Chain A
């Protein structure tokens, strides 16, 4: 799972029941100050869905969407495990860094 994919997954998690394209895009922009194109986002979402990390369901529409439905994403069990694995391996690596090395870097 790549860095961008991880961000998308986490954002989907944050939004829980409200995770659809525009909302994810806004959330990433608000929280991380990172601009994401619709193309990059959608291609990541579909890729993650194909890997089995996300599922999707069709939702309601509103007048702003020209009658087009929203597509809500949700993290699957597999996706959750992948996220946990990703976090664990990071933590493990963080823990392995000697204190002095980090101090040096900070100072």
Chain B
């Protein structure tokens, strides 16, 4: 008899109570509740009674009164749980071979996944420590000519940040930095450092970003000309135990800065790292006095960060910039320049433009690695699923007996899940250990310092727990349901499940195919990556960089520099093993450094001026590097005027200036930076940095002797490099005391540009090796099951005259088919993925089908070897042994 809901208690509430309450307790408690309800209603009214009923029911939800979850609560009845554990443990021990293969696979898979997770997590954590990080955007600059973008700067136009700030109220603040060239910072005669992470920065830096200022007044630092802030570690290097505040440091023996603040070293996951900050007003008001560093849009090299108001729409702001450019400058400026906002936290993985503050990460690489990690882990899990279902005949009797004795499917599932959980937990613990041990090795493999966050970061730990849970369910559930669905009568009578056909078999085949799709894809990709890398390194760069020693030019110089550098050249060239010395503002493998926006043919109108890279070098630079000419001649010492007015273009540059052929350019004049130059030769295009990027227009002009030299290139004629090095160094320290002797061999330096690709290829080949290893381990176990099961069949066939070859073929056919299928599916997938990767290179190989054929053959070969190891053994067994007893 149900009470009326309008006047009585809520029926829903009572039904809920009935649902969760222990059945044997339900009747009388409900009676109590109803009686209380009546009493309360009479005393205080209906709604009061209803409310209290609600709380009563809520408070009745307690462990001692609720219905047990699934038959048996493992925490309340630990014996059952313990029994499950015991059986699982025994089972794992009994089938050592399968356990070992499963465990090894899982350990490899999880270790790989953990490493990669850690790496990916780190790469994605860049710049996430800024409190206002979600409101900070960097403005980058594109330069456009006739609708074509030809240069893309990370550090862009000087005037853009003030322009945006002044025109749009949603911009709360901005900060601008520009790199100070590498320089020597000196405290006392014997206390100096060479520092290239130095910037001129606005004081707003400490407001916009969250770089903590340890000492100094945040409102005061960097506001006065010739003041500086230094990092904690720099303070230690330069001042030791002294207090740097108020002390003076000298930059390149020219300018003196008072230290007014100390900031904490930037975390490693910052896209912007600096050790010394010089006040921006020094740059804008003193060093470039009368300059236009607040308004010029044609002057690049300025990192501009905007802090937007909360909830401001950055994309809308970005879209409004061109109009502001036109309003404040002119339509022509609007056509030739474009500004884009980059969300701060995206910079590290997506930005790769000219003049980045640091070499940024590669989002594609991170994504690829993530995929690989997942693949290896999945392959290992698939192994477990395959092996435990293929192994099911062995458990059929056990399942039958359990069922006959009253085991419900739920309990059986619990048993098999326990086994999966046990194995997964083992694997992840071992994987943790391995991660701890091989952390250093992994760091050197990826070539980056990677904080060991695995054990401290709650999110990573959470993900690990999730992986564990997912792994247990994924690997445990399917086998558990297959096994627990066996019909006890069938299995006990025949010993076979009668279930091995049908969908289960297809799933097993599907999983093997998936494993090999991943393996073949990874192997093929490894080939392609190696090929691309070799291609890059073998591409003729158009320069001879062998046997070249480079010495960084002196930073601390005085009025005697011109004569000293002449003496330096003369003395060095007198060394027997030295062929030649030349000075320049850049060297191969290094960015050109300078750009000029207004390069044009003499007397050409303004709108025909072009953007060029500019480099200055001694006249014999091109000869030392054996650069080839398309037309004209090299600059020459013997032509007296060359040192002042001669220049060389590269072919791309000549084309950009509308010369129809290189020859046509010879003898013509160009002008930029208010100077005229005569083109004496056109160089064949060469790769200044690496064939990863395209050739850009270049003016190579003669370097006036009074300009400092950034680099001295010394061509040696011998392989006795270290002997020559000693001689060079002693001459250096005689002539340029107080300047550190920084040198390197150009070959090594140049090849460092491929370091990222080299590392990527190493990581990739390691993980694809692991993937195929784990796949083959699974295959190995599967085949050994199959041969075990078909022992009698093989014996009979042998007796009837089948040869070993016949039988091996019979056993292998099925698997070889699967792998062939995997090859067919893997090819287009990895083709597409590699196409994506290759797009990051200006010069790239064409994808040829051969890489895929080769990868397929390798996978097939390895798999076949694995299979035949077992199948040949099975086929060779004397049939008498296998047929003797029944």
Query: Which of A20, A25, A40, A65 contacts B34, CB < 8 Å?
Result: A65
- Judge if A58 is at the interface, Cβ distance under 8 Å: yes
- Other 9 A-B pairs with CB < 8 A, given A22-B36, A71-B28: A21-B29, A21-B31, A37-B55, A37-B60, A47-B64, A64-B35, A65-B31, A65-B34, A69-B31
Distance to closest chain B CB from A24 (angstroms): 9
Chain B residues within an 8 Å CB radius of A21: 28-29, 31-32
Residues of A within 8 A of B1 (CB): 66-67
Determine whether B3 belongs to the interface, using a CB cutoff of 8 Å to chain A: yes
Report whether A68 and B28 are in contact in the complex, using a CB–CB cutoff of 8 Å: yes
Cβ of B501 within 8 Å of any chain A Cβ, yes or no, is: no
B50-66 interface code vs A (CB 8 A; 1 in, 0 out): 00000110111110110
Asked if A39 CB lies within 8 Å of chain B CBs, one says: yes
Q: How far is the CB of A48 from chain B (nearest CB, A)?
A: 11
B30 within 8 A of A: yes
Is the C-beta of A34 less than 8 angstroms from some C-beta in chain B? no
Contacts of B58 in A (CB 8 A): 39
B756 on interface, CB distance cutoff 8 Å: no
Instruction: List residues of B (207-247) whose CB comes within 8 Å of A's CBs.
Output: none
Contact of B59 among A40, A68, A69 (CB under 8 A): A40
Those of B12-39 within 8 Å (CB) of chain A: 25, 27-36, 38-39
Which residues of chain A have C-beta atoms less than 8 A from B30's C-beta?
66, 68
Could you tell me the distance between the alpha carbons of A47 and B3 in the complex, rounded to whole angstroms?
Answer: 30
> Can you list 18 A-B pairs, Cβ within 8 angstroms, ordered by A?
A20-B28, A21-B31, A22-B35, A37-B59, A37-B60, A38-B36, A38-B56, A39-B56, A46-B25, A46-B65, A47-B64, A64-B35, A65-B32, A65-B35, A66-B30, A69-B31, A70-B32, A71-B31
Given the known A-B contacts A64-B38, A67-B1, are A43 and B32 also in contact in the complex, defined by CB atoms under 8 Å? Answer: no
In the bound complex, what is the Cα–Cα distance between A47 and B65 (angstroms)? 10
Bound together, the chains give a CA A38 to CA B61 distance in angstroms of 10
CB-CB under 8 A from A22, the residues of chain B are 32, 35-36, 39
- Are B34 and A37 neighbours in the complex by a CB distance under 8 Å? no
Q: Which residue of A lies closest to B64 (CB)?
A: A43
Interface string of A1-42 (1 = CB under 8 A from B): 000000000000000000011100100000000000111101
Count CB-based A-B contacts (< 8 Å). 72
What 6 pairs between A and B have smallest CB-CB spacing? A68-B31, A39-B59, A21-B32, A71-B28, A65-B31, A39-B60
| Given known contacts A47-B64, A58-B28, A69-B28, A37 and B56 CB-to-CB distance under 8 angstroms | yes
State the interface size on chain B (CB cutoff 8 A).
Answer: 25
Q: Nearest CB to that of B27 among chain A residues?
A: A68
Residues of chain A within 8 A (CB-CB) of B33 are 38
**CB contact list, A60-76 vs B, under 8 A:** 61, 64-71
CB of B439, distance to nearest CB on chain A (Å): 50
Which B residues are CB-close (under 8 A) to A43?
Answer: 62, 64-65
Majority secondary structure, B binding face: helix
CB neighbours of B55 from chain A (8 A): 37
Give the contacts of B99-144 with A (CB-CB under 8 A): none
Known: A42-B60, A46-B25. A70 touches B31 (CB 8 A): yes
Per-position contact with A for B346-384: 1 when CB-CB < 8 Å, else 0? 000000000000000000000000000000000000000
Interface centre among B32, B39, B55 (most CB of A within 10 A): B32
CB pair B32–A20 under 8 Å, yes or no, is yes
Known A22-B36, A65-B34, A66-B34; judge A38-B28 contact (CB<8 A): no
Return A20 CB to nearest CB of chain B, in Å.
Answer: 7
Count residues of chain A with CB under 8 A from any CB of chain B.
22
- Cβ-closest chain A residue relative to B31: A68
Expressed in whole angstroms, the minimum distance between the Cβ of A44 and any Cβ of chain B is 9
Q: Is the CB of B64 within 8 A of A38?
A: no
CB distance from B778 to the nearest CB of A (A): 51
Q: Which residue of A lies closest to B33 (CB)?
A: A38
Determine if B31 and A38 form an interchain contact, defined as CB atoms under 8 angstroms apart. Answer: no
A11 to B73, CA, bound (A): 33
B25: which A residues are within 8 A, CB to CB? Answer: 42, 46
Write out the residue numbers on chain A whose beta carbons fall within 8 Å of the beta carbon of B61.
39
Closest to B9 in A: A66
Instruction: Encode contact with A along B511-552: 1 for CB under 8 Å, 0 otherwise.
Output: 000000000000000000000000000000000000000000
Q: For residue A22, give the distance in angstroms from its CB to the closest CB of chain B.
A: 5
B residues 387-445 in Cβ contact with A at 8 Å: none
CA distance A66 to B3 in the complex (A): 7
How distant is the Cα of A76 from the Cα of B38 in the complex, in angstroms? 31
B60 proximity list for chain A (CB < 8 A): 37-39, 42
Which B residues lie within 8 Å of A65 (CB)?
31-32, 34-35
Q: Which of A25, A42, A61, A70 has the most CB of B within 10 A?
A: A42
How distant is the Cα of A19 from the Cα of B814 in the complex, in angstroms?
75
- Residue of B at shortest CB range from A40? B59
Q: How far in angstroms is the closest Cβ of chain B from A37? A: 4
In the complex, which residues of chain B have a beta carbon less than 8 angstroms from the beta carbon of A70?
28, 31-32
Chain B, residue nearest A47 (CB): B64
Residues of B within 8 A of A25 (CB): 32, 36
Task: Return the chain A residue nearest B42 by Cβ.
Answer: A64
**Minimal beta-carbon separation of B51 from chain A (angstroms):** 13
- The answer to whether B31 touches A61 (Cβ under 8 A) is yes
- State the CA gap A32–B116 with chains docked (Å): 64
User: Contacts A22-B39, A37-B55, A37-B56; is A42 near B65 (CB within 8 Å)?
Assistant: yes
Q: Give A37 to B55 CA distance when docked, in angstroms.
A: 9
Q: Is the CB of B29 within 8 A of A42?
A: yes
B624 to chain A, nearest CB (A): 91
CB-CB < 8 A to A39: which residues of B?
56, 58-62, 65
Q: Which residues on A sit within 8 Å (CB–CB) of B38? A: 64
Cα A40 to Cα B59 with chains together (Å) = 7
Residues on B with beta carbons closer than 8 Å to the beta carbon of A20: 28, 32
CB distance from B46 to the nearest CB of A (A): 15
Q: Which of B31, B58, B59, B64 neighbours the largest number of chain A CB atoms within 10 Å of its CB? A: B31
Complex Cα distance, B34 from A61, in Å, reads 11
**Residue of chain B at shortest CB distance from A24:** B32
**Cβ contact of B31, chosen from A37, A40, A47, A66, cutoff 8 A:** A66
Q: How far is the CA of A97 from the CA of B246 in the complex (A)?
A: 72
Q: Which B848-881 residues have a C-beta within 8 angstroms of A?
A: none
Among A22, A47, A58, A66, chain B packs the most CB atoms within 10 A around the CB of A66
The closest CB in chain B to the CB of A42 belongs to B29
A70 to B32 alpha-carbon distance, docked (Å): 7
In whole Å, how far is B651's beta carbon from the nearest beta carbon of chain A? Answer: 88
Q: For the complex formed, measure the closest distance between the CB of B62 and the CB atoms of chain A, giving whole angstroms.
A: 5
Which residues of A lie under 8 Å from residue B56 when comparing CB positions? 37-39
Of A40, A47, A65, which is in contact with the most chain B CB atoms at under 10 Å from its CB?
A65
**Complex: A43 Cα to B66 Cα, angstroms:** 10
A44 and B29 CA atoms in complex are apart in Å by 13
Contacts of B59 in A (CB 8 A): 37-40
List the B side residues contacting A69 at CB < 8 Å: 27-28, 31
Closest residue on chain B to residue A59 by CB atoms: B28
Please report the C-alpha to C-alpha distance between residue A33 and residue B779 in the assembled complex, in whole angstroms: 74
Q: Which residues of A contact B36 (CB under 8 A)?
A: 22, 25, 38
Please report the C-alpha to C-alpha distance between residue A32 and residue B30 in the assembled complex, in whole angstroms.
25
Closest chain A CB from B65 CB (angstroms)? 6
Query: Which residue of chain A has the shortest Cβ distance to B34 in the bound complex?
Result: A66
Please give me the residue from chain B that is nearest to A46 by CB atom. B64
CA distance A42 to B170 in the complex (A): 62
A42 proximity list for chain B (CB < 8 A): 25, 29, 32, 60, 65
Interface residues of B in 177-224 (CB under 8 A from A): none
CB distance from A68 to the nearest CB of B (A): 3
Residue ID in chain A nearest B56 by CB atoms? A38
Shortest Cβ distance from A37 into B: residue: B59
Instruction: Mark B246-275 against chain A: 1 for CB-CB distance below 8 A, else 0.
Output: 000000000000000000000000000000
Candidate in B1, B30, B36, B58 with the most chain A CB atoms within 10 angstroms? B36
CA distance A67 to B33 in the complex (A): 12
Q: How far is the CA of A45 from the CA of B64 in the complex (A)?
A: 10
Q: Assuming A42-B25, A70-B28, is B65 touching A64 (CB within 8 A)?
A: no
A67 to B38, CA, bound (A): 13
Residue of B nearest to A61 (CB): B31
